[in-house]
Amino acid sequence: MGRTLVALDDSPQAQNALAYALSVHERDEFVLLHVIDYSESITDPGRGGRGRLEGWYQKATEDAEDLFEEATALTDDYDVSVTTVVADGKPAQEIIDCADDHDVDQIVMGSHGRTGVARILLGSVAEQVVRRSERPTTVVH
């Protein structure tokens, strides 16, 4: 039995990554991570936009809670141990740091998450994690 980190956002690819991880690593313990990325406070009009950071952060935190509720509904079907983590910062670095902090054996993540300006400015999170992590990383479409 190992420990698998699954990086979650609200993209279909992240949901596919979780489903994949559960089907392939069904005996593992799971660490589900959602990263609140402050750069989205500027580019995401649905979360308040520039100048409304406090409201944006509150909404982002609520979104993370909703995301984990959906994810644990799926993990409950597999009867696995789950730890949920919300981190603030740059997604690729937070994924790598969380993997270190929780001593995971592998990382599973979607091929890409949100679209738009934030993704273009930041580059591919999945690509950064694959290049920089010392752990095996599976990228799911």
Domain ranges of the chain: 3-140
SS3 139: strand
CATH code at 3-140: 3.40.50.620
- DSSP states along 32-46: EEEEE-TTHHHH-GG
Cβ neighbour number for residue 94 with a 10 Å cutoff: 23
For residue 109, give the nearest of 27, 9, 39 by alpha carbon: 9
Q: What is the pTM of this model?
A: 0.88
pLDDT by position in tens, the chain (length 141): 899 999 999 999 999 999 999 999 999 999 999 999 887 766 665 545 455 677 888 889 999 999 999 999 999 999 899 999 999 999 999 999 999 999 999 999 998 765 555 455 444 899 899 999 999 999 998
Provide the pLDDT for residue 49.
47
